[in-house]
Structure 1
Amino acid sequence: MKLVNYCIKGKEESRIGCVLDNYVLDVQNAYRQLLSSHEKKGIIANLEKYLPSDASHFFAIGSSAIERAYEAVQYNLEKEEGENRIPLDDVRLKTPIEKPSKIICVGKNYANHVEEMKGEMPEYPVIFAKYNNALIGPEDVIEKPAFTSELDYEVELAVVIGKKASKVLKDDALNYVAGYAIANDTTARDLQKRTPQWLQGKTLDRSTPIGPWIVTTEELKDPSNLSIRSFVNGEERQSANTNQLIFDVPFLIQFISRLITLYPGDIIMTGTPDGVGFAREPAQFLHDGDVVKVEIEAIGQMENKIRE
């Protein structure tokens, strides 16, 4: 499934949905329809407990909510039409999870990127935090503050956790994943580099698009061999494959879950490949009006404009 956080254009209420062809299926309403067909009135009366309409609450429940959503989608697909189907042109896609409890980012995780940044190969994953204030959707503008002149792009595979994970073993790690999305870890290099800690350059307000949806694991089972690319104003800047990750997704889940308990809806951003603007000669940073497109095989693509 391709799960989205959507709202009808012109309205503010956002709901969990599933993209199917050229429309969005309202997942909660579809589940209500399924329950009605089985006369399960007790569950319908407590529907928010089992399958919330709010995307953040939905993913915070985790795997069980996703399983119910899958049942609802399959039931709806058996019908030729339905009132819960909304044309994709009539909706706006928001960041899939607006308020995750944690956003954990990984730096220096592609060897060629470490080399272009003139760094040393890490012995352990380099991790840092990002906060909810930074998150925007796949159709939103990336806000460039006037106090940075070195705004950079970083396409990354984002991993969404599906169930509580503590001290997880690598061989079992993918069983704790809800799905995958694309992230652009837009970075103010001048702010990042002025102190040993990277945080101030990494979590600016409305700077980090994630989307366009979360592809769940029944559709994307293995994230280890996906092409990953970025473009600025149509020019390819980054091109790599997730098989080049120094620390792959299972290892990262094992490593992080030994330090920090992960909960459903938490996001891990796995690092960016080489080709960033900072490392080009001369450096090529983002400016007002630039358009950044990022894409990952088997997930899709998203495009965001820079606004100062």
Structure 2
Amino acid sequence: MKVIQFAYNEKPEDVRVGYIIEDTIIDVNKADTSLSTSLLQILKDGDFDKVKKITPLSHLPTVPRSEVTLKAPITGQDKVLCIDMNYLDHYTEQKIEPPEVPIAFAKFTSCIIGPEDVVRLKTNVTTKVDWEVELCLVIGKTAQDVRAEDAYKYVLGFTVAQDITARDWQKKLNGGQFLLGKAMDTFCPIGPCITTIDEIGDPENLEIFCSVNGILKQKSNTKQLVHKIPALIERLSSVITLLPGDIILTGTPGGLGMYRNPPEYLRPGDVIRSEIEKIGVLTTRVQEF
């Protein structure tokens, strides 16, 4: 199931929950009016099993993709956690050794935008903004002190994310501390959907790509992950209680702008195309703020 949040074009503020099959939207809220119109609240209510029972039968309300606007597939969560430098090819391009333990940092939930929103660049504040395509997992139920072998029981599914990063703020302008370089407004596009874990297959064997203005920048596979997803959940849940709707960005492959010769950075007018096998394509436009 490819779960989405969306709004009808004529009611852009009325966000609803659905899922998508090719170019057709199934309106979950019309099919079962007892369900919340927020995916986060559905998870908190323990009602996602009701969503799974809404199968694409002919009597269900369907909507053409052209009649809706896709929103971020989940919003309002407690935490946005990220893993730094977690792909083997990323270390290869820097000619350094991977760390023994995963390095975690956070963004604000206010950074999250959806598939049809724009990254807003303050070019008077930062001039070195980079792309980072990432596989992003979504926590489905409360997870505390989870063992690695049980980790996937707590995962709702996966989406595509961009860990947009202002390198000048990440590296120098905030004393080497990541937060302000990572958490500027709109710096966490996610979408277009959440592919549920039962349909994703092996999340550690998915092709992953990023292009900017049609030019391929990143190409890898999630089998390159240094610290695997179950280990990440075990480590994080040992110190932080993961709540329904929390997301974890699992790291980015090689091919970043800062390591190119000469370095390349995003500019207003750019279009970022992020794609992960079995999930879909997240297209993000960049505008001056």
TM-score, length basis structure 1: 0.89
- Contact 1:59–1:97 (CA under 8 A) maintained in structure 2: no
SS in 1 for 2:199: coil
Question: Which of 175, 195, 205 is 1:225 aligned to?
Answer: 205
* 1:202 aligned residue: 182
Q: How does 1:143-292 map to 2 (within 5 A)?
A: 143-146=120-123, 147-194=125-172, 195-292=175-272
Alpha-carbon distance between aligned partners in 2 of 1:14 and 1:136, rounded to the nearest angstrom: 14
Q: CA deviation at 1:173?
A: 0.6
Partner in structure 2 of residue 52 of structure 1: 36
Distance change >3 Å, CA 31–CA 202, structure 1 → 2: same
Give the drift of 1:106.
0.3
For the 8 Å contact 2:40–2:244, the answer to whether it is kept is: no
What's the secondary structure of 2:74's corresponding residue?
A: coil
The 5-angstrom pairing of residues 99-114 of structure 1 reads: 99-114=76-91
Q: What secondary structure is seen at the aligned counterpart in 2 of 1:285?
A: coil
Q: Show the counterpart of 1:27.
A: 28
User: Offset of 1:52 from its aligned partner?
Assistant: 1.0
Equivalent residue number for residue 133 of structure 1: 110
User: Match for 1:112: what amino acid?
Assistant: D
| C-alpha RMSD of matched pairs (Å) | 1.4
Q: How far did residue 118 of structure 1 move? A: 5.6
> For 1:69 and 1:162, how far apart are their aligned partners in 2?
13
Paired residue total: 284
> Are the counterparts in 2 of residues 28 and 69 from structure 1 also a CA contact under 8 Å?
no
Q: Distance in 2 between matches of 1:150 and 1:119?
A: 22
TM superposition shift of 1:97: 1.3
Q: Which runs of 5+ in 2 are unaligned?
A: none
Residue 66 of structure 2 corresponds to residue 68 of structure 1 = no
Q: How far apart are 1:133 and its partner, in Å?
A: 1.5
CA offsets per residue over residues 195-222 of structure 1, 9 Å max, x none? 2211111011012210000011221132
Instruction: Give me the TM-score of the superposition, normalised by structure 2.
Output: 0.94
Cα offset for 1:21?
2.5
Contact 1:179–1:220 (Cα < 8 Å) also in 2: yes
Kept in 2: contact 1:15–1:26 (CA 8 A): yes
In structure 1, C-alpha distance between the alignment counterparts of 2:43 and 2:183, rounded to whole Å:
22
1:11-45, Cα deviation, whole Å (9 max, x unpaired): 2110111112322111122124xxxxxxxxxxxxx
Matches of residues 79-118 of structure 1 in structure 2 within 5 Å? 79=58, 81-82=59-60, 84-117=61-94
**Partners of 2:207 and 2:276 within 8 A in 1:** yes
Unaligned runs of 5+ in 1: 33-46
In the aligned structure 1, how far is the partner of 2:284 from the partner of 2:254?
20
> Shift of residue 119 of structure 1?
5.0
Q: Is the 8 A contact 2:43 2:141 kept in 1?
A: no
2:197 and 2:88 mapped to 1: Cα distance? Answer: 27
| Larger helix percent | 1
Q: Distance in 2 between matches of 1:19 and 1:224?
A: 23
